[in-house]
Amino acid sequence: MAMTDITFVLIFLPVLLLVIAFKYSLQKYALLLLSLFYYACGSPRYFVLLLEMLVINISLAYFIEKSTNRRKLSFMILTIGILINVGVLFYYKYFDFVIEGTNQVFGTVFTARDLLLPMGISFFSFKAISLLIDVYKGTVVMERNPIYSALYLSFFGQIVSGPICRYNEFYKNTGFNGSTIFSWNSFADGGYLFVKGFIKKVLFANILSLISTEVFSMDLVETSAPLLWLGAICYSLQLFYDFSGYSDMAIGIGNMFGIACPKNFDYPYMTKSISEFWRRWHITLGAWFRDYIYIPLGGSRVDSRIRLYFNLFVVWLLTGIWHGANWTFIFWGFSYFIAISFEKTFHFPDCLRQKWSREIYRILVLGFINFQWVIFNSANLHAGLSYVKHMLIGYGYEVANIRTVVLLKEYGVIIFAAIIFATPISSWLKTTLEFKGKRIAMCTECVMATFMGILFIFALSSVIAGQNNPFLYGNF
């Protein structure tokens, strides 16, 4: 049951909103029950596994906190907790990949399990590990009532595709004092984010997917460079609107109940460098790897370049592996390691003095990111590299060129709008109009609210008509 399913919007969400009428202490119980119900509907086969992992992680967190005076014991418990979470993640996500690779390299005949991936296993594991580490470091104090920890780990808004929120961020606005945290401002902000994310997913990501799916499924000998570029650009935009749309919806629902989470996207395609791109894209994942992998390894404050490159290599290797059990993701992560190492070594783009040279570099960065998304979306590494090759030296199949024109005529307005709204033009317009006076600003907000309402109704009608597909990042 995705957040854009008609069942979620017209049944689950209204029931969820009734929880607002509950007392603060009862809200947490109701949200936990709804989160467990949500998971049972989405991944019934692994519902018991979720319950087991909740009990194990919460118990270990309490044991770590109780043994803070015995540092070796608490570290041993922390290690056990990390190994359990990593072990479960490895078994369900990477076991078959390792078995198949072993068979290919050594000629063995081990049998793969063909395991289905538990819903949100990657995000759950990272949140659980962060909780255990933060308790060990003393930055998180476990609440006596385990409901708080259980809700943090299983909250339906974040378990499928993140964002990877920290425990202290999750409960930033509560204070555990039992007082109500509902406010109309927070509710309105959350509702706006939910509607915004819903529109992103249904009216942009879903429509762009029609183009990208068609192009990526074609035989390369029947394509042309223009058609392949169109498919790649549409996929880049589709992935952005799909994932940022989910993040907006998840953060918005949390805001309705006083659950805080930092933003996950900051107009990533406005980047000036590859390093900056990853400070704008999937921000919570980047922050997780920074705080729990990169900095403990020494970060950038190391004595030698070799150690710096090693730290970057580990982070980007794990980033690639985290996204999936395929050589495409490993290559994708390794490519970003090479690119970011290059920028750090030669101080790009700061070393470029002329504005025109910085703009050229920005274009090259966007091209690199686009090529990377092609690899990311390909079934295997050979297919991805072949796609990129044909983007640069395509056959120019005439029928494919005609199809490119047809697609641009049919979807050109959507593609253009997707490009425009991937920039901070709306924020710029709002800021500009605020300087014109309060009356103009209020009128602008009314117009925008009406416009968003119309788009939401149109998007909802598309979902009712059956034009819906799951969130892409639910697969990772």
Catalytic residues: 323
Backbone angles phi, psi at 465, to 5 degrees: -75, -5
Q: Quote the CA–CA distance of 100 and 97 in Å, as a whole number.
A: 5
Burial class (CB in 10 A: 0-12, 13-18, 19+), 270: middle
Contact 248, 158 (CB under 8 A): no
Cα 145–chain centre separation: 30
Amino acid code (one letter) for 460? L
Locate tokens 């900095």: which residue? Answer: 295
- What distance in Å separates the CA atoms of residue 190 and residue 118, rounded to the nearest whole number? 28
Rounded Cα gap, residues 186 and 259, in angstroms:
10
Residue with tokens 């799951």: 470
Query: Do residues 89 and 325 make contact, with C-beta atoms less than 8 angstroms apart?
Result: no
Q: How far is CA 240 from CA 223, 237, 431, 443, 446, in A?
A: 25, 5, 24, 30, 27
Alpha-carbon distances of 176 from 24, 168, 172, 458, rounded to whole Å: 10, 11, 10, 40
Q: Which residues touch 345 (CB under 8 Å, ≥6 apart)?
A: 305
> How many separate helices (H) and strands (E) can be counted in the chain?
22, 0
Tokens of 208: 């762009």
